[in-house]
Amino acid sequence: MKPVFRMGPCSFEAESRYLTLQLRESNDVLDDPGGLRKRLDEDGFLFLRGFHDRDEVLHVRRDILQIMAGNGELDPEAPLMEGVINPALKTQASVSTKGRENLKTDSLKRLLYGPRPAEFFRRFFATDPVAYQFQWLRAGGHGAGSTIHADVVYMGRGTRRLCTIWTPLGDIPPEMGPLVVCLGSHRWDRIRATYGQADVDRDRIPGHFTENPAELVEKFGGRWATAPMRAGDAVIVNMFLLHASLTNTTNRYRISVDSRWQPAGEPMDDRWSGEKPAGHEELWKPGAVLEPLAVSRERWRV
C-alpha cells in the first residue's frame, strides 16, 4: 500500500497523478553555472543535495531548539534535537514568518549569508550577488502547512532574477511537511499574466493562488513533487513557480528558512531593501481587510 500524505484539504498517495516523491536533483550541473541557469529555466527550481555544510546546519538547529525549549515549546522529556512539540501547548500549527525574531540567531545568519551561498550566486548570476536582509523562518507544528503561492506577488517590485533558497534546518521526511513544488507551473502563461502580475500590498490580497492543491493537477495539468530532505540540502526556486508545503502530521516541529538573493546591480524591491527591511506595508498591517480569494480569481479569470 502506497503512503498517503496530506496537503491542505487533500490527501495524496505517493507516486500518483497528484504527488511524486522523486524531485529532480541538480547536483549533476552544480559546477556548471550555465547548466544551472538552464535547469532553473526548465524546471523552475534547483534541488541541491549538500548545498550547505550539514554540521553547520545542525549547529543552527541546536541554537534554535534551545531557544524554543526555553520558551516551553518543546517536550522536556524528549531529546532536544528531535524537536518534539510540548504536548501541553494549545496552538501548534503556526507557520508565521513574522514574530519569530527571537529564533533568528547569529549562527542562522552566518549560514544564510556565508561564503557558500554567496559564492554560489556569484557564479550563478555571473556578477556580484546581494541578499535580502530578512529571514523567513518557520517552525511549523502538527497540522502546519504553507499555502500555494508564487514569490513574485510578495516581492515583485524589483528584478525578476530574484531567487529563493528554501533550507530545511534538520532532516525533514515527507510526513513532516517539506517544501513541495508544482511541476511546470512557472511556465503557465495565463497564470503568469494574471496572478503573476499581482502585488499583495498594492492589491490587498493574501497572496495564495488556490486553497485546493488538486485543482492545479486537474485544471492545469501540474503535479506536486517533493523528496525526503536532509540537513544541508536546499531547494532554489524562481519567482513564478507555484509551491507550498505538505502538512506536518508528526509530533515534531518542521523548522525551515527562506533566504533570497539577486544580482547586486539590478533593482531591489523596496520592501526588502536595506539592513532592516520594512516588509509588507499592507499585508502585515493589523486589521488589514484583504480581497477574498474567490473575488481575485474572478478578476483574474483563471
> What residue ranges do the domains of the chain occupy?
4-269+281-300
CA dihedral 56→229→249→146, nearest 10 degrees, is 90
Band (99; pLDDT cuts 50, 70, 90): low
pLDDT higher than threshold 60 for residue 123: yes
| pLDDT score for 111 | 98
Residues with Cβ < 8 Å from 51, sequence gap 6 or more?
116, 117, 120, 165, 167, 232, 233, 234
Band (97; pLDDT cuts 50, 70, 90): low
Instruction: Could you please state the CATH topology (level 3) that the domain comprising 4-269+281-300 is classified under.
Output: Jelly Rolls (2.60.120)
Dihedrals phi, psi of 216, to nearest 5 degrees:
-70, -25
Band (188; pLDDT cuts 50, 70, 90): very high
Helix (H), strand (E) at residue 167: strand 163-168
Rounded average pLDDT over 197-223: 97
* Per-residue DSSP letter, 143: T
Cα three-residue angle 89-95-99, rounded to 5 degrees: 85
Cα three-residue angle 245-248-249, rounded to 5 degrees: 140
State how far the Cα of 165 lies from the Cα of 237, in Å rounded to an integer: 7
- How is residue 270 written as a grid cell? 523596496
Per the CB < 8 A criterion, the answer to whether 18 and 9 are in contact is no
pLDDT higher than threshold 90 for residue 90: no
Rounded average pLDDT over 66-83: 97
Rounded average pLDDT over 16-30: 98
Q: Report the share of the chain in percent with pLDDT over 70.
A: 97
DSSP 86-108: PTT-S------SSS-GGG--HHH
| pLDDT score for 96 | 59
| pLDDT score for 100 | 81
Q: What pTM was computed for the model?
A: 0.96
State how far the Cα of 83 lies from the Cα of 232, in Å rounded to an integer: 17
How does pLDDT run across 274-285, given as a tens digit for each residue?
999 999 999 999
- How is residue 26 written as a grid cell? 541538480
| pLDDT score for 1 | 79
